[in-house]
Amino acid sequence: MKKLLNTLYVTSENSYLALDGENIVIYDDKKELGRVPLHNLEEIVSFGYRGTSPALMGACAERNISLCYMTPQGKFLARVTGKVRGNVILREQQYASSKDEQVGLEIAQNCILGKVHNARWVLERAVRDHSMQIDAERVKKASEMLKNSLMLFQNSTSRDELRGYEGEAASIYFSVFDELILQQKKDFQFQGRTKRPQGRNKRQPIDKMNAMMSFVYTLLTNMEASALECVGLDPCVGYLHTERPGRASLALDMMEELRSVLADRFVLSLVNKRMITAKNFTQKENGAVLLDDDGRKVILTEWQNRKKETITHPYLQEKVEWGMVPYVQAMLLARFLRGDLDGYPAFLWK
């Protein structure tokens, strides 16, 4: 159980939520885990299957407190609200801001500033911790180039210009990514992102690292989409990624901040700790490399473990689990769109 701003997150999958007077009470079997006054809450997010008492659902609907239900793995199930009071206004503000070039540019800039800042510090960590195992000068040079590119993002005058700078920064980062692979280098060579290689199967990666990265990026994007659903935002209306039918553009925008610091570091740890090996992959005739069932099971299990690790959120200055970070960022974006914050605070890790 964790309260962040005005949202209560109940992360125990065996928890049952009930009402006692003006308090929400969290039970595990018949044991009370804690209670929180309802008047302090705007939203309750539950990662479990056991449910909520009808009395609590009624009290939340009456007080305009939304109840959001997720699977223990973080997949969005449903949101229960009372009479529509806030979400329609929030979504109207979201839609208007996506069409407003200045506001849309500002949000997109912050997402990319967060992405490149975090990518740079992933490289800096590698230099600090593994300088004897990597080409430290090469990685340091790439880090310095990323640092210098931050000013370009801040001074960009359109989203198209920003996308161009972002592509250049991504190329710099991935040009030294192979240095961060410390074990099994022969089996896990990385020569750049190939999520859509040329050929008959354009959506399938052609090396092992890309196969894992694409899989974990999908997990992260799904987390972001669920987080946006929870706060009442439309995952499909974004600021940096262009809108297409069926594309979760805003979820893709938001995952950029966490791409290197959460997803890439996670994939590297699986390889460097030999939790995933070359035996977990097969190669098709067209060159596409596929992760096998055992490999996916390892990734999913370790991904759940990684999400439970705690950090100090750089903006809130509170301890949170990694799995909660997308929900915090979605909440902060919603607060900005409602006018409660002067700007969207990107997630800046160090």
Chain segment 304-349, per-residue pLDDT in tens: 899 999 999 999 999 999 999 999 999 999 999 999 999 999 999 9
Q: Taking 60 as the threshold, does the pLDDT of residue 196 lie above it?
A: no
Q: Measure the CA–CA gap between 330 and 232, rounded to whole angstroms.
A: 9
Q: What is the mean pLDDT of residues 57-80?
A: 83
Q: Taking 70 as the threshold, does the pLDDT of residue 223 lie above it?
A: yes
Please give the pLDDT value at position 85.
Answer: 55
Please give the pLDDT value at position 88.
Answer: 79
Q: Measure the CA–CA gap between 87 and 44, rounded to whole angstroms.
A: 15
Please give the pLDDT value at position 251.
Answer: 95
Please give the pLDDT value at position 84.
Answer: 55
Please give the pLDDT value at position 258.
Answer: 97
| Position 230 confidence tier, pLDDT thresholds 50, 70, 90 | confident
Q: What is the mean pLDDT of residues 257-279?
A: 96
Look at 140 and 203; give whichever has higher pLDDT.
Answer: 140
Q: Taking 90 as the threshold, does the pLDDT of residue 17 lie above it?
A: yes
Q: What is the pTM of this model?
A: 0.80
Q: What is the mean pLDDT of residues 232-239?
A: 92
Look at 326 and 205; give whichever has higher pLDDT.
Answer: 326
Residue 169's alpha-carbon distances to 36, 71, 128, 166, 176, in angstroms, are: 45, 35, 21, 5, 12
Average pLDDT for the chain: 89
Q: Taking 60 as the threshold, does the pLDDT of residue 203 lie above it?
A: no
Q: Measure the CA–CA gap between 309 and 278, rounded to whole angstroms.
A: 27
Please give the pLDDT value at position 201.
Answer: 44
To the nearest 5 percent, what fractions of the chain are helix, strand and coil?
50, 15, 35
| DSSP string of 323-340, one letter each residue | GGHHHHHHHHHHHHHHTS
Residue 290's alpha-carbon distances to 5, 53, 121, 209, in angstroms, are: 42, 44, 30, 11
Please give the pLDDT value at position 204.
Answer: 67
Please give the pLDDT value at position 86.
Answer: 56
Please give the pLDDT value at position 37.
Answer: 92
Please give the pLDDT value at position 4.
Answer: 74
Q: Measure the CA–CA gap between 322 and 314, rounded to whole angstroms.
A: 12
| Position 191 confidence tier, pLDDT thresholds 50, 70, 90 | confident
Q: What is the mean pLDDT of residues 264-278?
A: 96
Q: Taking 50 as the threshold, does the pLDDT of residue 198 lie above it?
A: no
| Position 83 confidence tier, pLDDT thresholds 50, 70, 90 | low
